[in-house]
A = this chain, B = another copy of it.
């Protein structure tokens, strides 16, 4: 079926070692031979068997990117940044989607371990640091994306979520809003928790203001809509007059529930601020005020950190933190 290096060697009248050299170290082979071998390769349709190569060479050229919500444009933008950087370095990035399932997160990590990928870029969903430590000992480095390492063991690329939360809350406070609602969850997700904490800290400085938490089971459009429907039914007196959504997907869901039904006006009755500044924020039913994260740049940076660790496993983990940025549109 598929021809091997041995077939090529036979066809070209050289030894297998020479064919391998043509493939990997062409400079060691005379140009005459290179040409002859190349010709045989083409004629036989030879394709290197990566499994065999990897087995012997012990080194893979692929990097895995594991995210918990591939449908979130923030992650696709990040993936794009990582991919572009990887292409430049000669790596290939394969993507895997955890779909907010710890089980799947683990089974993908198992897969990557068996595949001996060169490294892992991960935006963790569950508690995986221990697992990643084991992988590191095993020779597979990882870089955390959009989340910092609790024990400084891993390099990470993140955004200062606490600062982002503060910026968001302050913006709402400056607008004169006092009854603020935070919508997002689960609160165990560090990104969500930090944004919330940032908002809470901002509230400290404004004695009159209150913050109510509307916890959701995921940060999706659907969950946002569900929360929005509940908020819509509240009495005007106790209903928040401003909402801070844990991300833009949730914010869009809120918009759907609050505005699309015509029951409330944004931002007049209720202001909404999102997080991530995804492409769709501009074109939301009410263009969304949001907190921008440099997604593509984050992906690119993460890949560079990973490459450094892959080349030198003893390298000290580095932590890169980007600052978020307020983007004011119409919703708040």
Stretch at the interface among A28-36, A44-52, A181-189: A44-52
Q: Nearest B residue to A71 by beta-carbon distance?
A: B76
- Asked whether A1 is an interface residue with its Cβ less than 8 Å from the other chain, the reply is yes
Cα A272 to Cα B227 with chains together (Å): 30
| Minimum CB–CB distance for A79 against chain B, Å | 7
A212 at interface (Cβ–Cβ under 8 A)?
Answer: no
In contact, A280 and B280 (Cβ under 8 angstroms): yes
B contact residues around A50 at 8 Å (CB) = 51, 111, 114-116
Instruction: List chain B residues, Cβ under 8 A from A60.
Output: 51
Cα A51 to Cα B55 with chains together (Å): 6
Residue numbers in B under 8 Å from A1 (CB-CB) = 138-139
Specify the chain B residue showing the minimal Cβ separation from A83: B97
Tell which of B93, B107, B252 touches A280, judged by Cβ atoms closer than 8 Å. Answer: B252
A116 touches B51 (CB 8 A): yes
- Decide if A221 touches B279 in the complex (CB within 8 Å): yes
- Besides A71-B76, A285-B287, 15 other A-B contacts (C-beta < 8 A): A1-B138, A47-B114, A49-B55, A50-B114, A51-B60, A55-B55, A62-B111, A70-B70, A70-B95, A73-B73, A80-B97, A83-B97, A95-B96, A260-B282, A284-B284
Can you identify 29 A-B contacts, CB atoms within 8 angstroms? A1-B138, A1-B139, A45-B134, A47-B113, A49-B114, A50-B51, A50-B111, A50-B114, A50-B116, A51-B116, A52-B55, A70-B70, A71-B77, A71-B80, A73-B73, A79-B97, A80-B99, A83-B99, A87-B104, A94-B95, A95-B95, A95-B96, A95-B97, A253-B283, A256-B283, A260-B283, A260-B287, A283-B284, A285-B287
